[in-house]
Chains A and B, each alone.
Chain A
Amino acid sequence: MKATKYDDGTITYPGHPVGPDGGEPIEEIDLSEFTAEVVTWTTSTATPLGVRAPNHLAIVEFEVEGQPVRAIGQCTEPVEIGQTVRPVYVDELREPGAGIREPESQEWDGYRFEPV
């Protein structure tokens, strides 16, 4: 779960070839070592092919080097706004190839958020 720091000090997850203010990427920061706070959440029951149902999802906010860095992801269980969570590794978040996207075009492992 790699965030990208740019030469102007900004940090984003995921990283981009150019930062939000035009900065150049200079460093990767592993967010899996941090805890985060839930900004908002939903439980989706109408999920696409190859996705678990229900699918608990949250936007969370990490604090990295004094600035907020947000991420979206599945949760291990229902969460609440303001709750503290930590990333836990999952080797397959949804079934590759079940949906429209070419399986080889992206990674399918990642991190779910678990209440601390």
Chain B
Amino acid sequence: MDSVAIIGASMTEFGKREGWLRDLLVEAGLACLEDAGVEGHDLDHLYVSNMASGEFEGQTGVMNMLAHDLGALPVYTQRVDQTSSSGGSGVYAACQSIASGASELTMLVGGEKMTHRSTEESTDVIASITHPVEYKHGVTLPSFAGLTARYYLDKYDAPRESLAKVAVKNHRNGVDNPHAQFQKEVDLETVLGSPIVADPLRLYDFCPITDGSAALLFCPEEVASEYTDDYVVVSGVAGATDTHVVHERLDPSVMGGVVESGRQAFQMAGLEPDEIDVAELHDMFTILEFLQSEGLGFFEQGEGWKAIEEGRTDRDGELPVNTSGGLKSKGHPLGASGVAQVYEIYKQLIGDAGPRQVEAETGLTCNVGGFGNCVSTTIMEAGR
């Protein structure tokens, strides 16, 4: 595809917010336009990543609402829903809009408003993605994580503490992210002593319920320098799908969508996993950081847990993972998360990540929908 650049980015504070989805999307959208110095009416395409505004808030048609509020009419607009990977699939859609020549300037805004619902209600909205044979048993996304974590620990003889260390690492990173829902460290004892949610996983193995929004602005690479000196190039982007019924997968510790979307993204970028300098992985549950780091080829199958034990994914390690704090610390407003992952890599690659800054010329995001049901992987490089 023709090269696509990201020339602007923004994100709201993540957490419990007073505004509704409309307010959050507008806040991120206006900030992104301002970041790049363009107006709403300059946009050709506007994509909105969102999973469940109708179910959470009774508000549908959010893409039309945002286009009007941003003064972007008569822009082409579309809502992108791929459950928790709505953000990553929105990145894919935005890149395609530029690469195809259909748009010269595309904005993507992802967002979700969730915290006004009880934990039971939010859990059920998210669990509604499951197949009827799963739903009737009360299967939830956290219970999939518990089932998979037990299988992984047993199969690879990994210590329970290695999962807890993912939470400790990502909370430590989140301290330096002013947008994160939780900006405080937790220690190993706190994680291992927190209440059980889905045995063997405990409260601190799970991301919180979050409100928030993030936005990105895309254009053809050849005109990126007309907008800014600081941009990144999307060198690879791909998506893939695994079984809807989770137990039908041959190996519960392998997410086929991660493997396939990663393979395609690396092929498109012409890069190998060991050439990635920084990554944002979808740590909705601590076990997912292991499954993605292995499925993407950063570590051998069954050895992702060793990487966290050895500090290789720390901020000062060979492959910093989730410098933003990840979903675990930053929060997980469903439709916004994939967009916010790219926001973090964008900031790292233009050298504007503040105290979280690492040395990086290449970065990767992996955004997971359902329990690995739909996955998008994006690879970016610093613009030159």
Contact = CB atoms under 8 A, between A and B. Distances in A.
Interface of A: 12-14, 20, 39-52, 55, 57-59, 70-74, 81, 93-94, 99-101, 105-108, 110
Contacts of B132: 14, 105-107
Nearest to B243: A20
Interface stretch (B65-73, B245-253, B342-350): B245-253
Contact of B121 (A40, A49, A72): A49
A86 B204 CA distance: 34
A72 B198 contact: no
A73 B6 CA distance: 45
29 contacts: A12-B248, A13-B133, A39-B252, A40-B147, A40-B150, A40-B252, A42-B146, A43-B196, A44-B140, A44-B143, A44-B197, A44-B198, A45-B197, A45-B198, A46-B123, A48-B120, A48-B121, A51-B138, A57-B137, A57-B138, A70-B247, A70-B248, A71-B133, A81-B151, A81-B154, A94-B137, A99-B135, A101-B135, A108-B136
A57 B137 CA distance: 8
A57 B147 contact: yes
A42 B198 contact: yes
B124 A49 contact: yes
Contact of A110 (B136, B147, B252): B136
A103 B88 CA distance: 32
Contact of B147 (A42, A48, A94): A42
B125 A100 contact: yes
Given A70-B248, A71-B247, A100-B125, A44 B150 contact: no
A94 B136 contact: yes
A72 B247 contact: yes
B148 interface: yes
Contact size range, B: 35 or more
B146 A44 contact: yes
A97 to B, nearest CB: 12
A46 B252 contact: no
Contact of B143 (A52, A57, A71, A100): A57
Contact of B138 (A14, A93, A100, A105): A93
Nearest to A42: B146
Contacts of B275: none
B147 A46 contact: no
A55 B127 CA distance: 15
A84 B131 CA distance: 25
A13 B200 CA distance: 26
Contacts of B124: 48-49, 99-100
B252 A59 contact: yes
Contact of A72 (B119, B150, B246): B246
A72 B125 CA distance: 20
B134 A42 contact: no
A55 B143 contact: yes
B139 A100 contact: no
A101 B129 CA distance: 10
A66 B227 CA distance: 63
Contacts of B55: 100
Contacts of B201: 42
Given A55-B137, A81-B151, 17 more contacts: A39-B151, A40-B147, A42-B146, A42-B150, A44-B143, A44-B197, A46-B198, A48-B138, A51-B138, A57-B146, A72-B137, A72-B147, A72-B246, A93-B138, A100-B128, A101-B128, A108-B136
Given A12-B248, A59-B252, A107-B132, A40 B154 contact: yes
B382 to A, nearest CB: 41
B377 to A, nearest CB: 23
Contacts of B196: 43, 45
Given A70-B248, A100-B128, A81 B138 contact: no
Contacts of A55: 137-138, 143
Contacts of B198: 42-46
B142 interface: yes
Contacts of B136: 93-94, 106-108, 110
Nearest to B118: A49
